[in-house]
């Protein structure tokens, strides 16, 4: 691996996701970090099905990262993230991507959420995005960190940026949904950004120590 200023070696890190939106988002957040980011396609694992049968975001993130590290021998990073709505007993939670069915679209998931929250006033629509980020190193070391971002669920989709529940998730500080804020702003305050910032500090400590 090539040397770069500040590091004795440079890690290649495989992002263990088939979700192109997540891959792009993680890549943007890590772009200034001295790490060579690889996709599943880059390492010949495009289309790999990983069974996420954990009971928490942390367990599912770790399952994905472990699987990819074992198959590639490279540092693997994986996230598992989703939406928790207080009044729905933290649903959809780990089932966020398939809330309306196994192969549900973002629109179908959003429509189901809005239907369940019908007639619920704004002050009772509090929610949070959660992201668990796992890193599994070639030597077997494991790091799992969590990021959260609080907001409320709106009454209708707004904005054209982002993906998933972004058009419904309102950041009260801005009075706008993630989809209205745009990628640049979102990538500074989101649950994934918070988890990745924590992970970057952990990686920096480990990589600089080599």
pLDDT tens, residue by residue, 57-87: 999 999 999 999 999 999 999 999 999 999 9
The response to whether 86 counts as a known ligand-binding position is no
Here the contacts of 153-156 (C-beta below 8 Å, separation 24 or greater) are: 153/85, 153/113, 153/117, 153/125, 153/127, 154/125, 155/114, 155/122, 156/114
**Active-site position among 80, 86, 106, 119:** 80
What's the chain's average pLDDT?
Answer: 89
The response to whether 129 counts as a known ligand-binding position is no
The response to whether 107 counts as a known ligand-binding position is no
Whole-number pLDDT of residue 205: 79
The response to whether 103 counts as a known ligand-binding position is no
Whole-number pLDDT of residue 1: 38
The response to whether 163 counts as a known ligand-binding position is yes
Q: Cα-flanking dihedrals φ and ψ of residue 198, to 5°? A: -65, -40
Do 7 and 208 contact (CB within 8 A), yes or no? yes
The CB density around residue 152, as the number of other CB atoms within 10 Å, is: 19
User: Could you tell me the end-to-end alpha-carbon distance of the chain, in angstroms, rounded to an integer?
Assistant: 13
Please return the burial class of 111, using the count of CB atoms within 10 Å of its CB with bins 0-12, 13-18 and 19+.
middle
Whole-number pLDDT of residue 6: 44
**Domain 12-208 - what CATH class?**
alpha beta
Angstrom distances, CA of residue 92 to CA of 17, 19, 81, 159, 194 = 20, 18, 11, 21, 21
In sequence order, the 6+-apart residues with CB closer than 8 A to the CB of 142 are: 62, 65, 66, 134, 135, 136
Residue among 105, 54, 48, 97 at smallest CA distance from 72: 48
What does the domain layout of the chain look like in residue ranges? 12-208
The response to whether 209 counts as a known ligand-binding position is no
Mean pLDDT of 15-29: 83
The most confident of the ranges 11-20, 45-54, 86-95, 134-143 is 86-95
pLDDT category of residue 148 using cuts at 50, 70 and 90: very high
Determine the Cα–Cα distance for residues 190 and 175; give it in Å rounded to an integer. Answer: 15
List pLDDT tens digits, range 31-40: 777 788 899 9
Answer with the residue of higher pLDDT: 34 or 20: 20
Mean pLDDT of 139-164: 94
List pLDDT tens digits, range 191-204: 998 998 898 888 87
Whole-number pLDDT of residue 3: 38
Annotated catalytic, 80?
Answer: yes
The response to whether 17 counts as a known ligand-binding position is yes
Determine the Cα–Cα distance for residues 196 and 54; give it in Å rounded to an integer. Answer: 21
pTM comes to 0.86
Please return the burial class of 185, using the count of CB atoms within 10 Å of its CB with bins 0-12, 13-18 and 19+.
middle
Residue 43 reports pLDDT greater than 90: yes
> In this prediction, what percent of the chain has a pLDDT beyond 70?
93
> In this prediction, what percent of the chain has a pLDDT beyond 90?
65
């Amino acid at each position: 691996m090539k040397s770069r200023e500040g590091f004795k070696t440079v890690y290649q890190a495989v992002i263990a996701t088939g979700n192109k939106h997540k891959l792009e988002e993680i890549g943007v957040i890590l772009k200034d970090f001295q790490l060579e980011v690889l996709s599943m396609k880059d390492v010949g694992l495009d289309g790999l099905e990983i069974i996420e049968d954990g009971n928490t975001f942390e367990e599912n993130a770790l399952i994905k990262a472990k699987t990819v590290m074992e198959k590639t021998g490279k540092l693997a990073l994986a996230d598992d993230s989703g939406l928790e709505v207080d009044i729905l007993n933290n649903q959809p939670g780990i089932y966020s991507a398939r809330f309306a069915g196994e192969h549900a679209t973002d629109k179908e998931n959003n429509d189901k959420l809005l239907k369940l929250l019908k007639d619920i006033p704004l002050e009772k629509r509090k929610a949070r995005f959660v992201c668990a980020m796992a890193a599994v190193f070639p030597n077997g070391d494991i790091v799992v960190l969590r990021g959260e971002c609080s907001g409320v669920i709106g009454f209708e989709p707004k904005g054209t940026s982002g993906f998933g529940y972004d058009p419904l998730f309102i950041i009260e500080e801005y009075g706008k949904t993630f989809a209205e804020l745009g990628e640049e702003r979102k990538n500074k305050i989101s649950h994934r950004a918070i988890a990745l910032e924590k992970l970057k500090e952990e990686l920096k400590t480990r990589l600089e120590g080599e």
